[in-house]
Structure 1
Amino acid sequence: MKQIVTLALLTGLAAPALAFDHHEAAEGSEAAEPEQTHIPFANRSIRNWRVPERDVLLIEANHGRWYRAEFTNRCPGLRFTETLGFDTGGTSRFDRFSRVITRDGPCFVSSLVAIPDPDEEEEAAEADAAAE
């Protein structure tokens, strides 16, 4: 009998914590984190990449989809390399738990988010500047 009462009491105390919607709390904050994503079948879907700034990697996958990868620490050699390896850790998806391998060593991904095509954004910005 004591076990049933204790279980009921614990369930009653845990219910408000379980009912809290973390997504609503994130929506209310102005600095909400971008949604993390992954590149499925990375071993055959990564087509291209570029390094627009230090320790940031833009990755193009199939169907013109673009992703922005950031790293936990500095990624030495990233800006000057011509060859990269994408280590998915034994899975077929590249995500924020994956690594990028440069000639100087591994770089651990901390964030991977989907972004619009950077070429289209650049062209739109140039068209806006020309229109002014």
Structure 2
Amino acid sequence: MNRLFALSLAAALLPLSATVAAERAPQESRALGVETGISFPSNATIRTFQADGEDGVWIQDSRRDWYYATFFGPCRDIDFAQAIGVDTRGTSRLDKFASLLVRGERCAISSFVTSAPPPTKEERKAAREAEKAAKAAADAAKSN
């Protein structure tokens, strides 16, 4: 009896797992680098953000899709911000025409595109080391 119940439960859950996998597949195959926006930006639609120095910021929406916003100029303090505000100028859409408010500073967005997740700390460290090695190799080639 218990085995029959376990098998029927497994058979009932199988279509559910296929549905979840199908829902996640489009997110993984979406085009990256495409200008886009997030409608009605709020605490309910924006999950988290991660700064990329003073040049840009990765933003994750409630569906766990990532976007990258590039600023017109440096956005100081975004590396240390625990919260950001969004000024959409009445359009109810976070896109390249909006601004982020960071510690009283307005950071105008020049580009808002679909993106892969931000690099991990290990990936950033490896990129910095590769950049240093390339610079050292270029300097050595110039001196020869």
User: Does the alignment reach a TM-score above 0.5?
Assistant: yes
Partner of 2:38: 39
| Code of the aligned partner of 1:65 | D
Partner of 2:86: 86
Structure 1, unmatched stretches of 5+, are 1-33, 126-132
Structure 2, unmatched stretches of 5+, are 1-32, 124-144
Alignment length (residue pairs): 89
| Code of the aligned partner of 2:91 | T
- Among the aligned pairs, what percent are the same residue? 32
CA distance in 2 between counterparts of 1:117 and 1:105 reads: 26
Q: RMSD of aligned C-alpha atoms?
A: 2.0
CA distance in 2 between counterparts of 1:52 and 1:115 reads: 13
Deviation at 1:53, TM superposition (A): 2.7
TM-score normalised by length of structure 2: 0.56
Deviation at 1:104, TM superposition (A): 4.2
Distance change >3 Å, CA 111–CA 96, structure 1 → 2: same
Alignment check: 8 A CA contact 2:89 2:98 kept: yes
Q: How does 1:11-30 map to 2 (within 5 A)?
A: none
CA deviations on 1:63-117 (whole Å, 9 max, x unpaired) are 1110000101111211122121011111221000000001141000000000123
Local SS of the residue matching 1:106? strand
Partner of 2:68: 68
Local SS of the residue matching 1:79? helix
CA distance in 1 between counterparts of 2:39 and 2:117 reads: 18
Alignment check: 8 A CA contact 2:88 2:99 kept: yes
Deviation at 1:52, TM superposition (A): 3.1
Partner of 2:30: none
CA distance in 2 between counterparts of 1:50 and 1:117 reads: 10
TM-score normalised by length of structure 1: 0.60
